[in-house]
């Protein structure tokens, strides 16, 4: 399965170091020819289909299900309800650290949100299962839904996001505000959003005794194996997850969800393979989302436009039964120099599914608002927004004073501004029109994202034919991990990428860590690098100890691995190919293994972040309020770039999600019932190509000697940060209207008088 | 899912006979009906696939210069028919602003006319909807109604008709040819769709079993070909329904408006023809002031059905804009972004 990806393409032929080269995706041809096998494409013999019946109420109790009717439907094999659901070995109301959530697996008849599974129907066909689920005709005891500020339950929370502190204070915020010449204060709202990966969540579960094989898209293979093992009371090694391809994840496939657990349970109960694939509508509930936030920013500035205080207060929505919430205020911690910073969060319990990590969790919604607030403060100070940010440039991490492992934000600002043409920007809004009379606005925002590093393991096998097999259980969600990871491994092995076969996406391989948090390339990449180095070291031992080798005796001098040969470090002329070394040693292969993790001392001593600057141009119809983002220029510095083609694509993706956040995405919830009224891709808008006429991503060179031995930071999520604010600020600059909620809508920009004599009259 | 009979007739009379059974629905491309059947918002007992009916997929030019378009002509084929697009450019522009390229390649003329509302409550089986289930109530009232009707609604239903295509058709006096159990008849497109009143479930003027076989545009409608535009406001540049839209067509002579046609989309349960506004313009100088007065009159009866007062203002402005752009003249070529207020941008030189 995963070996299918290792075929060579002419573009991959290159000598010397392959890292840094813009290779195309190894899996590209498979995907565009339809030969990539996704989880739901699997049909093991004897497979049954499972369909969840979901609640249409947000809060209450299921009082009746017509199980008889469902079971009477031809083809229906079983109906799982709280009455007959087999036991699990782990209490679903107990979370499994470090990233576990409480899950709904029919533990009782309580309904806690709309689209919660209330039964699972298993049948011989998808049609029969679907019809069976429809026949259940649930009856409810309905309690009033808590859907917003007015009826949600507020609570103090010790943690936000994944274990981040809910309150961080540096300096004296009140003193900072008191010392300010100006205080800019405003309230902002970000909406609930749903991941909407192209590929719905799916699982095909097959049991063999107490071993289970799961074909499912998964961003965290090893952690998921351990968690499924806990729910089913088997050793983690008995769970095999195959996840060769993911049709997008955006964070929603790193967490275990109730529906999949139920399908696995059904497969064990019925002793037949079971497939479950959620419908698009069913993805609006049990598989996470980005929770709504209400944010207040208070920025104190002195007479020179320097921050004296930065206070970011977030009220973040979560479910009634779990705690994940957007760590949005923490976006204000690492970026701008201020003697006093206070980032704090409160929780608001609503009758929704539990939010989860989604496309820069916290950073996206927090950055969106922070960058708008910075724009407002710049205007209050009469300063250009870029000049204002430079005046508040943090040379060391604000609050902690730690040095950055590397920070090239100044270069990002300069290069981005230059490419965009920022210097001609008038300070006042509504000063620019295009040749057709449309209002033109320019805005900017700073992008920032932390650099997590997950422990990971890898294995590298040098083979007698001079090729290599490298293995790690990573996940390629479309970001190009297989290509970039192969490049890293090839470099460590001194081989061309074509000579390196990468196996990944299956949990039986060494733990590749999590594909999330923008940390996969660094985490799995370092493990592969180390495994490659280990394999080369073992090979070198063979050669330098062998009197017949030209490298004999070079043990202390050392060798270099290049183009499939080991070269004596002090004498280029003395070298030997890997094949020759192995042949003479009578070995079929040499295997290197490695574990890699972040050196805690590095994290202790440094602040670790990627940075960037995004510049946006929008055009706005002066009468109709219609907005188009006509140009986006982002400049990003994220350490060493393994594959500029893939990285640019990642930045593009992030910036497009920024357009989405700024102007389109919103789950519309009926305030009375908690039902989501646009739970499909026709009505829940994400951008189409025509919304994205011009994108430019500049890769700022950056050398980071500390972040990890590869010097690699993360690129997956930083693109959305900065972009949302840049677009909102550009809309203000075009129109003079400051919109403090997302998405910005047509009606928000209709406040100006009808202008019949505008460029559009005659 | 209801169990349903599936019938594929080979002649129009056979189709009509099959549809005489209550609970029948005609199926063409299925871009709307099948979605509705999947969610259960539509539950026909008998589905009659008309895609094999002969002779309904032709564009025929009539001796007087009008055109007769078979009900099975695909949206894309009609929009890209050179003569059609030249003669009725506002219709072609509206067609190309609708849905996505993939949907337009499948969807038929008759199907477009018969598409159902996008009201979320119509699709939400857990909620009340008089249109779907007469007498159950209207959950859109007092619900999430930002995009609902501002004209012609009643407390029984505030849904809108989503078609772009129908808006210029209403403006241009299009005629729908119908065959039914009692023979053929013609219906003015402007009266095909009904306002909800107390019976929102009666969405069209079609009688049980009646089948739209063709759409006709009269020769007179071609007199607007030089000054006609369709403008559509939406929150995504493609694959999005109109928040509001307007078709405007003018016959201008020496700065004086001889004839005017105005229709609005996204504001009511039917494409909204603004006849009084048209009458006001006729004989007047084509000025921004006159256009603003016409827009005022077109929206005179408008009232919000919820959190959507902005749509009235927006509709007013889009009528004015559509008239201004119509006066400027029909573009020589189809705009890169059909019906968009934005002209082409670099990198966007494609029909969306």
Residue A468, by phi and psi: left (phi above 0), alpha (psi -120 to 50) or beta?
Answer: beta
Q: How far apart are CA A747 and CA B146, in angstroms?
A: 10
Q: Which residue of A has its CA nearest to B119?
A: A677
Q: Tell me if chain A has a CB within 8 Å of the CB of B290.
A: no
Q: Tell me if chain A has a CB within 8 Å of the CB of B292.
A: yes
Residues of A in contact with B121 (CB under 8 A): 677
DSSP string, A189-255: EE--B----SSPPEEEEEEETTEEEEE---S-HHHHHHHHHHHHTS-GGGEEEE-S--S--TTTTSS
Q: How far does A676 lie from chain B, in Å, by closest CA?
A: 9
Contact B350 A436 (CB under 8 A): no
Q: Tell me if chain A has a CB within 8 Å of the CB of B3.
A: no
Q: Kindly tell me if the per-residue pLDDT of B58 is higher than 80.
A: yes
Express each pLDDT in A703-720 by its tens digit.
999 999 999 999 999 999
Q: How far apart are CA A420 and CA A433, in angstroms?
A: 17
Place A11 in a pLDDT band, splitting at 50, 70 and 90. Answer: very low
| CB-based contact A547:A541 (threshold 8 Å) | no
Alpha helical stretches, state H, chain B: 12-19, 33-39, 75-79, 82-87, 89-97, 101-106, 109-113, 120-123, 166-171, 189-192, 275-281, 288-298, 309-328
Mean pLDDT rounded to a whole number for chain A:
95
pLDDT score recorded for residue A754: 54
Q: Kindly tell me if the per-residue pLDDT of B351 is higher than 80.
A: no
As a whole number, mean pLDDT of residues A360-372 equals 98
Number of CB atoms found within 10 A of residue B159's CB: 28
Considering only CA atoms, which of A318, A313, A256 is closest in space to residue A290?
A318
HSE-CB at B65 with a 13 A cutoff on CA atoms is 9
Contact A690 B337 (CB under 8 A): yes
* Phi and psi at residue A362, to the nearest 5°: 80, -55
Considering only CA atoms, which of B190, B337, B352 is closest in space to residue B278?
B190
Q: Tell me if chain A has a CB within 8 Å of the CB of B345.
A: yes
| Torsion angle of the four alpha carbons A656, A659, A660, A661, in this order, in degrees rounded to the nearest 10 | 120
Q: Which strand ranges, in their side-by-side order, compose the sheet holding B272-273?
A: B228-233, B244-253, B256-265, B272-273
Express each pLDDT in A204-226 by its tens digit.
999 999 999 999 999 999 999 99
Q: Which residues of A329-355 are buried (b: 16+ CB within 10 A; e: fewer)?
A: bbbbbbbbbbbbbbbbbbbbbbbbbbb
Q: Tell me if chain B has a CB within 8 Å of the CB of A664.
A: yes
Residues of A in contact with B293 (CB under 8 A): none
Q: Tell me if chain B has a CB within 8 Å of the CB of A4.
A: no
As a whole number, mean pLDDT of residues A365-373 equals 98
pLDDT score recorded for residue B3: 85
The tokens describing A725, both together, are: 């604010």
Q: How far does A669 lie from chain B, in Å, by closest CA?
A: 7
| CB-based contact A331:A366 (threshold 8 Å) | yes
Q: Which residue of A has its CA nearest to B2?
A: A131
Considering the four listed CATH numbers 3.40.50.2300, 3.30.365.10, 3.40.50.450, 3.40.190.10, the one that applies to the domain covering A402-453+598-762 is 3.30.365.10
Q: Kindly tell me if the per-residue pLDDT of A10 is higher than 60.
A: no
Considering only CA atoms, which of B352, B319, B291 is closest in space to residue B151?
B319
- Percentage of chain B beyond pLDDT 90 is 96
Q: Which residue of A has its CA nearest to B296?
A: A754
pLDDT score recorded for residue A555: 84
pLDDT score recorded for residue A15: 41
Number of CB atoms found within 10 A of residue A753's CB: 7
First to last CA, chain B: 34
* Contacting A residues, span 262-301, partner chain B, CB-CB under 8 Å: 281
Q: How far apart are CA A732 and CA A739, in angstroms?
A: 7
Contact A688 B233 (CB under 8 A): no
3-state secondary structure at position B269: coil
DSSP string, A451-467: -----EEEEEEEETTS-
Q: What is the tally of helices (H) and strands (E) in chain B?
A: 13, 12
| CB-based contact B294:B262 (threshold 8 Å) | yes
Q: How far does B152 lie from chain A, in Å, by closest CA?
A: 22
Place A728 in a pLDDT band, splitting at 50, 70 and 90. Answer: very high
pLDDT score recorded for residue A756: 39
Considering the four listed CATH numbers 3.30.365.10, 2.60.40.2480, 3.40.309.10, 3.30.310.50, the one that applies to the domain covering A6-36+455-597 is 3.30.365.10
The tokens describing B54, both together, are: 């002969």
Mean pLDDT rounded to a whole number for chain B:
96
Place A17 in a pLDDT band, splitting at 50, 70 and 90. Answer: low
Q: How far is CA A335 from the centre of its chain?
A: 20
Considering only CA atoms, which of B238, B46, B175, B160 is closest in space to residue A681?
B238
Q: How far is CA B202 from the centre of its chain?
A: 17
Q: How far apart are CA B94 and CA B245, in angstroms?
A: 9
Express each pLDDT in A110-164 by its tens digit.
999 999 999 999 999 999 999 999 999 999 999 999 999 999 999 999 999 999 9
Does residue A743 have a cis peptide bond before it, meaning omega lies within 30 degrees of 0?
Answer: yes
Contact A754 B292 (CB under 8 A): yes
As a whole number, mean pLDDT of residues A386-409 equals 98
* Contacting A residues, span 613-632, partner chain B, CB-CB under 8 Å: 619, 621, 623-626, 628, 630
ipTM of this complex > 0.90?
A: yes
Place A311 in a pLDDT band, splitting at 50, 70 and 90. Answer: very high
As a whole number, mean pLDDT of residues A258-264 equals 98
Q: How far apart are CA B217 and CA B68, in angstroms?
A: 7
Residues of A in contact with B289 (CB under 8 A): 756
Q: Active site includes A717?
A: yes
CB under 8 Å to A568, separation ≥6 — which residues? A550, A551, A554, A557, A559, A574, A575
Q: Kindly tell me if the per-residue pLDDT of B163 is higher than 80.
A: yes
pLDDT score recorded for residue A2: 39
Q: How far is CA A597 from the centre of its chain?
A: 20
Q: Tell me if chain A has a CB within 8 Å of the CB of B253.
A: no
As a whole number, mean pLDDT of residues A732-749 equals 97
C-alpha gyration radius of chain A: 27
The tokens describing B31, both together, are: 């871009």
Residues of A in contact with B266 (CB under 8 A): none
pLDDT score recorded for residue B343: 80
Q: Kindly tell me if the per-residue pLDDT of B173 is higher than 90.
A: yes
Contact A623 B324 (CB under 8 A): no
Q: Kindly tell me if the per-residue pLDDT of B344 is higher than 70.
A: no
Q: Which of the 8 DSSP states describes residue A578?
A: H
The tokens describing A491, both together, are: 């470099």
CB under 8 Å to A110, separation ≥6 — which residues? A60, A61
Q: Which residue of A has its CA nearest to B240?
A: A682
Contact B143 A682 (CB under 8 A): no
Out of B237, B291, B328, the one facing A690 most closely (by C-beta) is B237
Domain with CATH 3.30.365.10 in chain A: 6-36+455-597, 402-453+598-762
pTM for this predicted structure: 0.96
Q: How far does A700 lie from chain B, in Å, by closest CA?
A: 25
Residues of A in contact with B340 (CB under 8 A): 626
A412 forms bridges with which residues in the sheet?
Answer: none
Cα dihedral across residues A517, A252, A254, A168: positive or negative: positive
Q: How far apart are CA A581 and CA A577, in angstroms?
A: 6
Q: Tell me if chain B has a CB within 8 Å of the CB of A673.
A: yes
As a whole number, mean pLDDT of residues A378-383 equals 98
Number of CB atoms found within 10 A of residue A32's CB: 10
Judging by DSSP bridges, how do beta strands A627-637 and A695-699 pair with one another?
parallel
Place A761 in a pLDDT band, splitting at 50, 70 and 90. Answer: very low
Catalytic residue from among A68, A387, A717, A747: A717
As a whole number, mean pLDDT of residues B96-102 equals 96
pLDDT score recorded for residue A411: 98
Express each pLDDT in A326-336 by its tens digit.
999 999 999 99
Q: How far apart are CA A52 and CA A103, in angstroms?
A: 14
Residues in chain A, overall count: 762
Domains of chain B: 223-328 (3.30.390.50)
Q: Kindly tell me if the per-residue pLDDT of A752 is higher than 90.
A: no
- Percentage of chain A beyond pLDDT 90 is 94
pLDDT score recorded for residue B345: 58
3-state secondary structure at position A322: coil
Considering only CA atoms, which of A515, A524, A523, A428 is closest in space to residue A471?
A524
Q: Kindly tell me if the per-residue pLDDT of A758 is higher than 90.
A: no
Residues of B in contact with A623 (CB under 8 A): 317, 320-321
Considering only CA atoms, which of B160, B180, B320 is closest in space to residue B242?
B160
| CB-based contact B116:B25 (threshold 8 Å) | no
Long-range contact set of residues B201-208: C-beta below 8 Å, sequence gap at least 24 = B201/B130, B201/B131, B201/B132, B201/B134, B203/B116, B203/B131, B203/B269, B204/B114, B206/B178, B206/B180, B207/B180, B207/B181, B207/B182, B208/B19, B208/B20, B208/B22, B208/B24, B208/B181
Q: How far does B2 lie from chain A, in Å, by closest CA?
A: 9
Q: How far apart are CA B204 and CA B210, in angstroms?
A: 11
To 5 degrees, how large is the angle CA A369–CA A375–CA A381? 135
As a whole number, mean pLDDT of residues A356-366 equals 97
| CB-based contact B148:B140 (threshold 8 Å) | yes
pLDDT score recorded for residue A8: 39
Q: Kindly tell me if the per-residue pLDDT of A753 is higher than 60.
A: no
Q: Kindly tell me if the per-residue pLDDT of A343 is higher than 60.
A: yes
pLDDT score recorded for residue A762: 32
HSE-CB at A493 with a 13 A cutoff on CA atoms is 36
Q: Tell me if chain B has a CB within 8 Å of the CB of A675.
A: yes
Q: Kindly tell me if the per-residue pLDDT of A757 is higher than 80.
A: no
């Amino acid at each position: 399965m995963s070996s299918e990806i290792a075929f060579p393409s002419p573009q991959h032929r290159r000598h010397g170091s392959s890292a840094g080269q813009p290779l195309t995706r190894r899996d590209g041809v498979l995907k565009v020819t339809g030969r990539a096998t996704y989880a739901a494409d699997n049909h093991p013999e004897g497979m049954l289909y499972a369909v969840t019946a979901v609640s249409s109420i947000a809060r209450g109790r299921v009082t009746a299900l017509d199980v008889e009717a469902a079971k009477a439907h031809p083809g229906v094999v079983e109906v799982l309800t709280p009455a007959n659901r087999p036991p699990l070995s782990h209490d679903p109301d107990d979370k499994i650290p470090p990233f576990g959530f409480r899950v709904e697996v029919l533990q009782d008849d309580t309904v806690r949100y709309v689209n919660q599974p209330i039964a699972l129907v298993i049948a011989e066909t998808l049609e029969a299962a679907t019809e069976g689920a429809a026949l259940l005709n649930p009856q409810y005891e309905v309690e009033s839904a808590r859907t917003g500020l007015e009826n949600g339950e507020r609570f103090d929370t010790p943690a936000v996001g994944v274990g981040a502190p809910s309150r961080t204070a540096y300096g004296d915020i009140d003193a900072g505000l008191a010392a300010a010449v100006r205080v800019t204060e405003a309230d902002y709202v970000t909406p609930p959003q749903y991941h909407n990966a192209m590929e719905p969540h799916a699982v095909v579960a097959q049991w063999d005794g107490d071993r289970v094989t799961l074909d499912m898209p998964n961003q965290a293979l090893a952690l998921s194996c351990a968690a499924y093992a806990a729910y089913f009371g088997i050793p983690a090694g008995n769970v095999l997850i195959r996840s060769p391809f993911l049709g997008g994840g955006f964070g929603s496939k790193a967490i275990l969800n109730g529906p999949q657990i139920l399908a696995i349970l059904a497969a064990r109960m019925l002793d037949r393979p079971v497939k479950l694939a959620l419908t698009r509508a069913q993805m609006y509930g049990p598989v996470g989302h980005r929770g709504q936030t209400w944010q207040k920013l208070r920025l104190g500035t002195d007479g020179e436009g320097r921050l004296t205080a930065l206070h970011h207060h977030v009220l973040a929505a979560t479910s009634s039964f779990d705690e994940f919430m957007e760590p949005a205020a923490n976006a204000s911690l690492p970026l701008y120099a201020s003697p006093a910073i206070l980032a704090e969060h409160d929780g608001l319990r609503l009758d929704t599914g539990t939010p989860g990590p989604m496309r820069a969790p916290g950073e996206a919604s927090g950055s969106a608002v922070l960058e708008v607030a910075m724009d407002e403060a710049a205007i209050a100070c009469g300063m250009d927004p870029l000049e204002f940010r430079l005046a508040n440039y943090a040379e060391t991490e604000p609050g902690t004073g730690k040095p950055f492992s590397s920070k090239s934000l100044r270069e990002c600002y300069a290069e981005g501004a230059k490419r965009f043409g920022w210097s001609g920007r008038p300070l006042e809004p509504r000063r620019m029109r295009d040749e057709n009379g449309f209002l033109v606005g320019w805005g900017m925002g700073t992008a920032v994202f932390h650099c997590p590093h997950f422990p990971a393991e890898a294995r590298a096998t040098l083979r007698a034919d001079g090729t290599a097999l490298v293995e790690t259980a990573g996940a390629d969600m479309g970001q190009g991990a297989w290509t970039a990871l192969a490049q890293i491994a090839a470099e460590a092995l001194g081989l061309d990428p074509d000579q390196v076969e990468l196996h990944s996406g299956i949990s039986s391989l060494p733990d590749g860590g999590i594909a999330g948090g923008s940390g996969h390339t660094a985490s799995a990449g370092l493990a592969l690098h180390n495994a490659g180095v280990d394999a080369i070291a073992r090979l070198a031992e063979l050669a330098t100890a062998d009197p017949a080798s030209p490298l004999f005796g070079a043990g202390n001098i050392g060798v270099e691995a290049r183009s499939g040969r080991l070269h004596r470090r002090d004498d280029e002329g003395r070298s030997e190919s890997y094949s020759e070394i192995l042949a003479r040693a009578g070995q079929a292969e040499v295997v290197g293994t490695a574990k890699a993790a972040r050196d805690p001392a590095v994290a202790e001593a440094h602040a670790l972040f990627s940075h960037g600057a995004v510049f946006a141009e929008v055009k706005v119809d002066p009468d109709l309020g219609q907005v188009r983002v006509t140009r986006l220029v982002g400049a990003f510095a994220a350490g060493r770039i393994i594959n500029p083609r893939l990285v640019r694509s990642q930045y593009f993706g992030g910036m497009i999600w920024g357009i989405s956040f700024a102007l389109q995405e919103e789950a519309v919830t009926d305030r009375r019932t908690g039902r989501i009224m646009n739970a499909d891709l026709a009505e829940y808008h994400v951008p189409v190509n025509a919304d994205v006429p011009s994108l430019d991503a500049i890769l700022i060179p950056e050398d980071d000697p500390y972040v990890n031995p590869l010097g690699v930071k993360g690129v997956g999520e930083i693109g959305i940060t900065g972009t949302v604010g840049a677009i909102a600020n550009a809309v203000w600059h075009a129109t003079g209207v400051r919109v403090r909620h997302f998405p910005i809508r047509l009606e928000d920009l209709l406040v100006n008088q009808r202008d019949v004599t505008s460029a559009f009259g005659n | 899912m209801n169990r349903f009979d599936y019938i594929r007739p080979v002649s129009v009379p056979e189709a009509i006979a099959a549809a005489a059974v209550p609970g029948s629905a005609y199926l063409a491309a299925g871009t709307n009906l099948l979605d509705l059947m999947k969610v259960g918002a539509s539950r026909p007992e008998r589905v009659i696939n008309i895609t094999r009916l002969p002779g309904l997929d032709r564009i025929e030019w009539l001796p007087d210069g009008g055109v007769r378009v078979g009900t099975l002509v695909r949206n894309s084929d009609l929009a890209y028919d050179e003569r059609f697009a030249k003669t009725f450019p506002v219709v072609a522009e509206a067609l190309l602003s609708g849905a996505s390229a993939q949907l337009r390649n499948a969807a038929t003329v008759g199907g477009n006319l018969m598409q159902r509302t996008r009201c979320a409550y119509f699709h939400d089986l857990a909620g009340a909807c008089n249109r779907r289930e007469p007498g159950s109530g209207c959950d859109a009232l007092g619900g999430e109604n930002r995009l609902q009707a501002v004209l012609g609604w009643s407390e029984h239903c505030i849904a809108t008709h989503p078609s772009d295509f129908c808006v210029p058709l209403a403006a241009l006096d299009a005629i729908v040819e119908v065959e039914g159990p009692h023979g053929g008849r013609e219906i003015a497109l402007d009266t095909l769709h009904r306002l909800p009143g107390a019976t929102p479930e009666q969405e069209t003027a079609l009688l049980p079993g009646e089948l739209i076989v063709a759409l006709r545009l009269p020769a007179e409608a071609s007199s607007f070909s030089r000054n006609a535009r369709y403008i559509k406001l939406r929150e995504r540049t493609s694959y999005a329904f109109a928040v509001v839209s307007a078709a405007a067509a003018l016959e201008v002579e020496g700065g004086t408006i001889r004839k005017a046609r105005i229709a609005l989309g996204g504001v009511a349960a039917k494409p909204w023809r603004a006849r009084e506004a048209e009458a006001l313009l006729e004989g007047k100088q084509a000025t921004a002031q006159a256009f603003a007065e016409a827009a005022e009159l077109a929206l005179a009866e408008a009232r919000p059905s919820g959190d959507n007062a902005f749509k009235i203002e927006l509709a007013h402005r889009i009528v004015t804009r559509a008239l201004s752009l119509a006066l400027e003249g029909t573009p020589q070529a189809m705009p890169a972004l059909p019906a968009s207020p934005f002209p082409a941008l670099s990198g966007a030189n494609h029909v969306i």
